[in-house]
Amino acid sequence: MSLLLSARPAPVARLLPVLAIAAAAGLVPALLFAVTAGGHVMIAPFVHVVVVGVAGALAAVAAVALSVIAARANDGRVVLLGMAFSVMAMLLVIHALSTPGAWLPGNGLMQLTAAVSVPVGAALLAASALPALSRARHARTLVYVQLGVLGALVSVGAVALVRAENIPVVPQPGSAGARLLFVLGAAALGVLAWRAGRTYLLTRRSLDLLVTIGLVWLIAAQYGLLAYEMMDTGWWVAHVFDVAGIGLVCVPAALDMRYATASRPLVGDLRAAALVADEEAFLGSHVRALMLRLAAKDPSTEGHTRRVATLAVQVGEQLGLPERRLRLLALGGLLHDMGKLAVPDHILNKPAPLSDEEFDVIRLHPVWGRELLSELGGFPPLVLGLVESHHERLDAGGYPHRPPAGELGLEVRILAVADVYDALTDARIYRPPWPPAQAIKLLADEAGRAFDSSCVLALRDVLSSSPFSRGSLLAADKRFTAGPRPAGHASPRLAEQPE
């Protein structure tokens, strides 16, 4: 039951989970590079031509196909993703065809293409965050640009292959130029890995985790291609991570397109409200099933839980909650009224204020909700606590357990404010909806007493940023007070407000 109050997390605390994911993903290539350090391998040049060339050609075809599918879905960002990987794959093909000893003498083209493939791809991937690319009208244009770029690469590559022996080996493996190029490419890929890692912490989808791992492996691949030469074992290990990294980033995007879900890891613009809007994709089929059950019993309550969950995560973002806690807040918001599945219909849908006896039954729904989710299993303690405690108040005037304020966590305080606001502003059979300004004023009057002041302020800021409510809330600004109510001031029965 006890949930400790948590303050806004420090930036370092928000960075650590993503760094942990990146470190775990980088452990495999780091160990392989360490084990193979100083080792040499003699592999026939034609093996490099066939294996890397075929892999690059297949990857290029798959990337173009991804772009075409994305263009049909008007997703410009995924088109750019396909462009990035098709360019990287085409450079891999040129890299394979320029293998010394196959049909060409020693040349610098193979080193040059290996050196620039990952940084060029990283730059294109980083551009996927540009807001303009999310506009549908750019999607088809980007496909034509992609085909033009690939055509240019084929032409330039053909000329370069003819004159390959005249191309110097730049940058030299392990040189200052190679290290600089690695830093630039790793920085771009690092930003993308940061976005993907944060997205994974919010969604907990395995696809988003794979994208994060793939980006880290591409950094490892770039390191190996720039630090080692063809006869070094590490150079061949880098090829493995190059191809694997492309697959781990590209395949999840293709699967997202297949299921008509926007690919977000590389862009990093997924907001917590999206978890509520598409709970089956991001929170799982079990949550979807519960929401369907609630909608069948009482559509009004189902709509209320969605609005409360959306408001709660927006307030949580305003207060700086990290991704993991925003996800749990979204879950708690969607499921907070599941206990009403056990409330008799004649009470739940009564077209009049409830009697004291009926309200005693309603007051049991937080406990029933926790019991239901506990029986189903798989829900974290914080979610269970949110379901059981969303009617608790700082002054111990709520229900069902009335703990002291210090035991109410920040997520509980956020959910309580969002819950009351939506309950007041939603129409009921027995009363019309309250105006938003009036609901905010009631919460503001109780701020510091029944409700957390910072949560009320954050809710007001969230609502003020919405055009439909900005004007109606301006009138409440002057009346807002974050301090406790004066002694003797009458307090409405907020804890007993039916939803």
pLDDT in tens, 482-498: 333 333 333 334 434 44
How many angstroms separate the CA atoms of 498 and 496, rounded? Answer: 6
Superfamily the domain 272-496 falls into: Hypothetical protein af1432 (1.10.3210.10)
| Contact yes or no for 87/121 (Cβ under 8 A) | yes
What's the distance, CA 267 to chain centroid? 9
**What's the CA gap between 299 and 190, in Å, rounded?**
45
Phi-psi region of 488 (alpha: psi -120 to 50; beta: other; left: phi over 0): left
Q: Length of the chain in residues, anyone?
A: 499
CB neighbours (10 Å) of residue 42? 5
Task: Report d(CA 286, CA 283) in Å as an integer.
Answer: 8
**100, 137 contact by CB (below 8 A):** no
- State how far the Cα of 135 lies from the Cα of 264, in Å rounded to an integer: 15
Where are the chain's structural domains?
11-258, 272-496
The three-point CA angle 146-152-158 to 5° equals 135
User: Residue 213 — φ and ψ, nearest 5°?
Assistant: -60, -45
pLDDT of the residue at 416: 97
Structure tokens at 353: 């204020």
How far apart CA 70 and CA 140 sit, in angstroms, is 9
Nearest-5° Cα angle at 56, 52 to 60: 175
- In the predicted model, residues of the chain with pLDDT beneath 50 are 1-7, 468-498
Can you state the angle between helices 233-258 and 76-97, rounded to 10 degrees?
A: 150
pLDDT in tens, 190-247: 989 998 998 899 888 898 999 999 999 999 999 999 999 988 999 999 999 998 998 8
- Residues 351 and 155: their CA atoms lie apart, in Å, by 75
Rg of the chain (C-alpha set): 28
Q: How far apart are CA 446 and CA 421, in angstroms?
A: 12
- What phi, psi does 423 have (nearest 5°)? -60, -40
* pTM (two decimals): 0.80
- Tokens read off for 205: 């989808």
> Do the Cβ atoms of 235 and 225 come closer than 8 Å?
yes
CB 57 within 8 A of CB 93: yes
pLDDT of residue 475: 42
Residue type, 74: N
Distance CA 92, CA 405 (A): 61
How many whole angstroms separate alpha carbon 234 and alpha carbon 225?
Answer: 8
**Burial (CB count within 10 angstroms: exposed 0-12, middle 13-18, buried 19+), residue 15:** middle
- Is residue 432 a contact partner of residue 394, using CB atoms and an 8 Å limit? no
Q: Name the 3-class secondary structure at 104.
A: strand
pLDDT value for 310: 94
> What is the full DSSP assignment across 378-429?
---HHHHHHHHHTT--TTS-SSSS---GGGS-HHHHHHHHHHHHHHHHS-BT
Task: Please tell me what DSSP assigns to residue 451.
Answer: B
- C-alpha torsion angle, residues 383, 280, 309, 348 (rounded to 10): -90
Predicted local distance difference test score (pLDDT) of residue 443: 96
**What is the b/e burial string over 465-490, where b = at least 16 CB atoms within 10 angstroms of the residue's CB?**
eeeebeebbeebeeebeeeebeeeee
Question: What local confidence, expressed as pLDDT, does residue 484 receive?
Answer: 39
